[in-house]
Amino acid sequence: MIRSRTKVGKQLLNVLAGVALVYLFVPIIFIVAFSFNKPRGKFNLIWQEFTWDNWLKPFSDPGLTDAFTRSLEIAAISTLIATFLGSLMAIALARYSFKGHNGFNFFLVLPLTAPEIVLGSSLATLFLGQNFVDFGLVTIVIAHVMFQVSFVALTVRARIRGFDWTLEHAAQDLGASPMRTFWKITFPLILPGILAASLLAFALSIDDFIITFFNSGSEQTFPIYIYGASRVEISPQINVLASIVLFASVAILAIGNFSGKRKGSGRKQRKLARA
Amino acid sequence: MSLVEAPAQRSRLGSSADRVGLAALLIATACLVAIGGKWVSGPLTSVVVLVLLAVIVGVIVLAWRGGTEARRLLAPYGLLKPGMLWLGLFFLAPLWSLLRISLSTKESRFDINYNFSWAFENYQTAFTEFGGQFSRAFLYAGIATVLTILIGYPLAYVIAFRGGKYKNVLLGLVVVPFFTSYLIRTIAWSTILSDEGVVVSFVKGLGLVPVLEALQIMDNGRLLNTPAAVIGGLTYNFLPFMLLPIYVSLEKIDIGLVNAANDLYSTNSAAFRKVVFPLSMPGVFAGTLLTFIPAAGDFVNAQFLGNPNTTMIGNSIQDQFLRQNNYPVASAMAAVLMVSIAALVLLYTRLFGTEDLA
C-alpha cells in the first residue's frame, strides 16, 4: 500500500517536471515554427502556410540586419573590455587575501542585484547634460561593460577558486620570471574559466534590452529594433535570426560539453570549484 | 586564505603598502564618483582630477620603488583598480546623479537642463500618481516568484536526483530557451495567448472559460492583456533564475543523508521535509532574490502582455523618462524602487538569511 503510494508520488513528480520542461519550450517551438510561416500582411502572428523563403533570405530586412550586426559589434567590444577588467578583479579576489577583501566581494554583487531599470535610468542621468559623449554606440558599450564586469569577475572567480597557486611558486623556484610564470602557467590554466565567462557575457550583451533602451539614443540594437518594429511590423526574419542565435548557442553548448567530457577537465574543474 | 607566506623581513614602507593601496583605490573611486555625480563643479573639479591623478601616480611610484614586498601587497589593489574605477564612474556615480536629479526641477518638458533644488515634491508625485504601479509591481513580482518556485523546484529536483547521466543534457535543455531574445520570447507569448491563438481556442473548446474567469485568470473570454498574462510572462522569463540556484543547492546534497533518514524509518516525504528541503533553502533563497528583483523592475511583460490597467512601475519610469522627458519624477520613482527593494532584501535576509549566498 505504502509502496504503491510512493510510486505514484514518484511518477507524479516526474510528470510535473516534464510539464515544466515542456512549458519552457512552448514559445521556443512557436518562434522556430513561425520562422517558416508566410505571413499575410505585416505581422507574422497568424499561421498561414509553410515556406522556406525566410530562411533563404534571412537578411532581406535591411533595418533588422543592420541592428543585428550592430548588436554583434557592441557585444564583441564590450565583452573584450569587460573580460579584461573582470578577470583582473577575479584574479585579485581568488589569488590574494588583503584588507577589504569581503567589502569588494560584496560590492561586486551589487550591480547584479539592482533592477535593470534602475541601472539603466541612473546611467542615463550621468550622460544627461554633459558634453563629452552623445547617446549612442559609446554609451551602449559603457552600459554593457558596466553590468558585464561584475558578472565576469564573479564567474571567473568561482571557476578559479580551486586553482593551485603553489604551481606559480614551483615555476618561480625553477627560475621563471613573474611575467613568464603568468603567461606559461597561470594564464593557460585559468583560460577556460575566462572563456566561459566571456561567452556568457557576450550573450548577456546581445540580449540586453532595458539598460540599452535608456542609453541608446537613436542607435538600433537587435532588441531595440524588434521593440520599435513590434508596433508596425513583425517580419518572419526576426524569427529566423532568433532561431539562428538559438541554434548557434546550442551548438556552442554542445561542443563545450563534448570537449569538456573528452578531456575530463570539466568534471575536474567542477570538483575543484566545489572544494 | 593567505596563500603566500610573508617574508621574514619587511621594509617599513613595504609593510604598510596594503594600507596605502586600499586607501588609494578608495580615494580614486571617490574622486570619480564626485566628478561623475556632479558633486563638485567649476574649479573644484580640476582639484579632484588632480587628486585622482596624484593618487594613481603615487601608487605606481610606490610599486616601482617599494621593492618586492610592497609590490606583492599592492598587487590585488592594482588588479582591482581598473574594474573598480569603471564601476565607480558608471555604477556608483550614476546612482548619485539619479538621487540628485530626483530632487531637481525642470523648467519645462522640452528643457534639457534641470536645477537641483531639494524638490521633494517629485517623491510626492511618485507616490500619489504612481502608487498603483508600485503596488502592482511588487504584487505581480511576488506572485511570479512563488510560481517559479512551484514550477522550478520539481524540475530541479528531478534533474538533480533522477537525472543520472542525462543531468547535463537536461540542464542544457533548461537553459536553451533563454538563448533566444527576451523580447522575442515575450512577443511569442503574446501571440500564443492572443484571442485567435491556440490556448484560447483550446480552453474554449473544453468549455473552461467560466472556470478561468471565476479564477480571475481570463477576462471577458480573453487571456491576453490580463494581469494573469503579465504574471505568467514574468514567471516564464525569470524561471531559470529560480531553477538554477535550486538545482545547485540540491546537487550539493549528499544522497547518503537521505539514505540515512530512510534507514532510520523515515518516510520519503518526511525525509524530504526534514532533510532535503532545509538543505535546499540557500538555493530557494538566492533564487527568490534573483527572480523578484528583476521582475519588480520589469516593464516588457506588462507592455506586451498587459493592458493600461496592469502597468508596473517599470512602465511608468520608462514612460516618464524617455517619453515625457520628466527626468526628476522618473528618477524619484527609480530611487524609491531601489530603496524599497533594498529594504525588502534586508528584511528577507534577516528572516530567512543564509550565509552562503555570495
Q: Distance (Å) from the C-alpha of residue B53 to the closest C-alpha of chain A?
A: 19
Tell me which residue in A17, A46, A115 faces B155 most closely, judged by beta carbons.
A17
Which of B77, B188, B296 is the closest to A30 by Cβ? B188
Please tell me the predicted confidence (pLDDT) of residue B215. 82
Contacts of B173 in chain A (CB under 8 A): 21, 24-25
Nearest to B97 by CA among B45, B40, B46, B176: B40
Buried b or exposed e, range A242-268, using 16+ CB within 10 angstroms: bbebbeebeeebeebeeebeeeeebee
Q: Quote the CA–CA distance of A162 and B61 in Å, as a whole number.
A: 33
Chain-chain contact of A142 with B95 (C-beta, under 8 angstroms): no
Q: Given an 8 Å threshold on Cβ–Cβ distance, is A28 in contact with B297?
A: no
- Which chain B residue's Cα is nearest to A149? B83
Q: Answer whether residue A38 shows pLDDT above 90.
A: no
A265: confidence class by pLDDT, cuts 50, 70, 90: very low
Q: Which domain holds residue A174?
A: 62-234
CB contact under 8 Å between B75 and A126, yes or no, is no
Residues 122-161, chain B: which have Cβ within 8 Å of A?
A: 151-152, 154-155, 157-159
The DSSP secondary-structure symbol of B222 reads B
Residue of B nearest to A204 (CA): B179
Where are chain B's structural domains? 12-102, 121-352
> Measured between CB atoms, does B252 come within 8 Å of chain A?
yes
Contact between chains at A24 and B174 (C-beta distance less than 8 A) = yes
Which pLDDT tens digit goes with each residue over A60-116? 888 889 999 999 999 999 999 999 999 999 999 988 888 888 889 888 988 888 899
Torsion sign across C-alpha atoms A58, A59, A61, A63? positive
Mean pLDDT of A12-24: 91
pLDDT along chain B (358 residues), means of 10: 45 71 90 83 85 89 82 88 93 93 83 80 91 95 96 94 86 86 90 85 85 83 90 95 92 86 83 87 90 94 93 95 91 94 84 57
Give A253's contacts in chain B (Cβ within 8 Å).
172, 175-176
Residue in A6, A117, A125 nearest the CB of B268: A6
Please classify residue B207 by burial: count the beta carbons closer than 10 Å to its beta carbon, then call 0-12 exposed, 13-18 middle and 19+ buried. exposed
Residue ranges of B 296-335 with Cβ closer than 8 A to chain A: 296-300, 304, 314, 317-318, 321-322, 327, 330-331, 334
Shortest CA gap A223–chain B (Å):
7
Q: Do A118 and B297 touch (CB under 8 A)?
A: yes
Interchain contact, B176 vs A249, CB within 8 Å:
yes
Is the residue at A170 inside a domain?
A: yes
Q: What is the pLDDT of residue B130?
A: 94
**Residue A99 is assigned to a structural domain of this protein:** yes
Residues of A in contact with B79 (CB under 8 A): 88-89, 91-92
How buried is B358 (Cβ within 10 angstroms: 0-12 exposed, 13-18 middle, 19+ buried)?
A: exposed
Which residues of chain A have a CB within 8 Å of the CB of B112?
128-129
Q: Is B343 on the interface with A (CB under 8 A)?
A: no
Cross-chain CB nearest to B22 (options A30, A100, A245): A100
Query: Amino acid identity of B52?
Result: L
Confidence of residue A264 (pLDDT cuts 50, 70, 90): very low
CA distance B119 to B127: 14
Query: Which chain B residue lies closest to A82 (C-alpha atoms)?
Result: B83
Q: Identify all chain A residues contacting B337, using CB atoms and an 8 Å cutoff.
A: 115, 117-118
Q: How confident is the model at residue A274 (pLDDT cuts 50, 70, 90)?
A: very low
- Hey, are the CB atoms on B90 and A145 less than 8 Å from each other? yes
Which residue, A190, A3, A214, A195, is CA-closest to A94? A190
Q: How confident is the model at residue A250 (pLDDT cuts 50, 70, 90)?
A: confident
**What is the CATH classification number for the domain harbouring A182?**
1.10.3720.10
Residue A56 gets which letter from DSSP?
Answer: H
Across the interface, do B327 and A128 touch by the CB < 8 Å criterion? yes
**Mutual angle of helices A116-127 and B277-297, in 10-degree steps:** 40
pLDDT of residue A275: 40
For residue A179, give the C-alpha cell.
611575467
Q: So what's the pLDDT on residue B354?
A: 53
Residues of B in contact with A119 (CB under 8 A): 91, 94
Chain A touched by B77 (CB under 8 Å): yes
Q: B136 by DSSP, 3-state: which? A: helix
Domain count, chain A: 1
- Is A226 close to B322, i.e. CB distance below 8 A? no
User: Is B180–A245 a contact, with Cβ atoms under 8 angstroms apart?
Assistant: yes
Are A48 and A114 contacting, i.e. CB atoms less than 8 angstroms apart? Answer: no
Give the pLDDT of residue B339. 93
Which residues, at least 6 apart from A143, have a Cβ–Cβ distance to it below 8 Å? A119, A120, A123, A208, A211, A212, A214, A215, B90
Name the helix (H) or strand (E) containing B106: strand B104-106
Q: Which residues of B touch A226 (CB under 8 A)?
A: 181, 183-184, 187
Residue A207 has its nearest CB partner, among B181, B296, B299, at: B181
pLDDT at B134: 95
For residue B142, the model assigns a pLDDT of 96
Distance of alpha carbon B124 from alpha carbon B118, whole angstroms = 12
Whether B287 and B278 have beta carbons less than 8 Å apart is answered as no
Residue B218 backbone class (left: φ over 0; alpha: ψ -120 to 50; beta: rest): beta
Grid coordinates representing B206 are: 473544453
pLDDT given for residue B256 in this prediction: 85
User: Average pLDDT, stretch A135-139?
Assistant: 93
Instruction: Pick A20's closest partner by Cβ from B73, B151, B175.
Output: B151
The CATH number of B121-352 is 1.10.3720.10
A chain contacts of residue B141, beta-carbon cutoff 8 Å: none
Residues of chain B found within 8 Å of residue A88, distances taken between Cβ atoms? 79-80, 82-83
**C-alpha distance from residue B6 to each of A97, A135, B3, B15, B335 (Å):** 12, 49, 9, 10, 46
